[in-house]
Amino acid sequence: MEEIIVNLHMHTHYSDGSGSHKEIALAAIECGLDAVIVTDHNVLVQGFEGYIKNGANRVLMLIGEEVHDQDRDPQKNHLLVFGAKEEMATFADDPQSLIKNVGESGGLSFIAHPTELAAPAFNETDISWEDWSVDNYTGIELWNGLSELKTLIPTKLHGVFYSLFPAFVAHRPLTRTLQKWDELLKQRRVVAVGGSDAHAFRMRLGPLSRIVYPYNFHFRAINTHIFIPNPLTRDLNTDKQMIYEALAGGHCFIGYDLPLSTRGFRFTVHGGEAAGIMGDEIHSQGAVTLQAYLPSFAEMRLIKNGKVIRTVKRTQALTYITREPGVYRVEAYRNYLGRKRGWVFSNPIYVR
């Protein structure tokens, strides 16, 4: 298994972002990412997929889109679409039909910012996901950089502070979204990803103009670490397929890499002849052993069916032996800039 670092969910000047695909690629290379997935609003932009080089370094750029019904008021139900073969924005008016068409087109669908509250000081309305009657989507965007920011800016002054010191923004996925995920996991598999929702906003104040939350800030922050079976080949189609298959299988975790890189986190299971990683299912005919490992010391929590069943402070490793079926996942927390902050959120291992 090979761990790659991917930043997903971002906007260019084809929708409401300020930058170009080229600028995104250069920022991604600067930050050491393996791949980015660009998702402009309601347009599958053609012509930018592939490896982009800068000197000896390169990054894989994949293009998806973020689809929502622009006639709906308020404009809720945003869906991230990856790997669909054609434009999906035409199906935007009905979320379930959109999800169905994405699947039929070979794509993956993730509910974007499931909780995204209003920020009245910035005239931003609540654009949470509303239609929870839908099914057959791949997963949800558990941690979105922008949703969290919106909970922190009751006034314009707060907005100015966080734009100058963006490292103070991220704490953890919103509680309502985490609870929703645990609730959904009781019924079905739901893959969690972390998204930056990078726009590189251009803020104007009188004659001054400044880019806030630039791409190269986001690319060092909330990333999705994906486990692919073989190293990247540098062939677009081979690598794209490997990445999307791994995402569909939930072989990934969300790492908040700004305090310290989360590269090296592992969460595995073995029992009898069987073994697996995040996203896998294992049958508990006998006892199974769950093992989590962190690249550095942190507080680690093991969660079963939405409840914390073990917390270990300042540890790098956690082992848990059980015969009980359940949905098991791991969270890790570290102190950073004076606060305890989420560091790692694993996808579950399903013990059946």
Interface stretch with Zn ion, choices 45-53, 111-119, 246-254, 265-273 (CB under 5 A): 111-119
To Zn ion, the closest distance from the beta carbon of 10 in angstroms equals 7
To Zn ion, the closest distance from the beta carbon of 113 in angstroms equals 6
Task: Name the token pair of 136.
Answer: 């057959």
Residue 251 as a binder of Zn ion (CB under 5 A): the answer is no
Q: Which residue's CB is nearer to Zn ion, number 25 or number 112? A: 112
Task: With beta carbons less than 8 A apart as the criterion, state whether 194 and 255 touch.
Answer: yes
Q: How far apart are CA 161 and CA 58, in angstroms?
A: 34
Q: How far apart are CA 68 and CA 110, in angstroms?
A: 12
> How far, in Å, are 3, 55, 196, 243, 294 from residue 52 at the CA level?
20, 10, 20, 17, 31
To Zn ion, the closest distance from the beta carbon of 267 in angstroms equals 28
> Within 47-66, which residues bind Zn ion (CB under 5 A)?
66
String of DSSP letters for 5-73: EEEE-B--TTTT-SS-HHHHHHHHHHTT-SEEEEEEET----S--EEEEETTEEEEEEEEEEE--TTSS
Single out the residue of 21, 78, 171, 266 in contact with Zn ion (rule: CB under 5 A): 78
Looking at the DSSP assignment, which residues form a beta bridge with residue 312? 300
Residue 334 as a binder of Zn ion (CB under 5 A): the answer is no
Q: Which residue's CB is nearer to Zn ion, number 216 or number 268? A: 216
Q: Which residue's CB is nearer to Zn ion, number 137 or number 265? A: 137
By CB under 5 A, the count of residues binding Zn ion is: 4
To Zn ion, the closest distance from the beta carbon of 209 in angstroms equals 22
For residue 344, give the nearest of 316, 325, 323, 322 by alpha carbon: 316
Q: Which residue's CB is nearer to Zn ion, number 104 or number 130? A: 130
Interface stretch with Zn ion, choices 25-33, 105-113, 132-140, 324-332 (CB under 5 A): 105-113
To Zn ion, the closest distance from the beta carbon of 112 in angstroms equals 5
3-class DSSP state for residue 110?
A: strand
For residue 141, give the nearest of 9, 267, 330, 332 by alpha carbon: 9
Q: What's the CA angle centered on 222, arms 185 and 154, to 5 degrees?
A: 95
Q: Which residue's CB is nearer to Zn ion, number 166 or number 326? A: 166
Q: Which residue's CB is nearer to Zn ion, number 17 or number 279? A: 17
To Zn ion, the closest distance from the beta carbon of 146 in angstroms equals 7
Residue 197 as a binder of Zn ion (CB under 5 A): the answer is yes
Q: Which residue's CB is nearer to Zn ion, number 109 or number 322? A: 109
> How far, in Å, are 172, 282, 284, 303 from residue 327 at the CA level?
21, 11, 12, 8
Interface stretch with Zn ion, choices 128-136, 153-161, 192-200, 325-333 (CB under 5 A): 192-200
Please report, as ranges, the residues that interact with Zn ion according to CB under 5 A: 66, 78, 112, 197
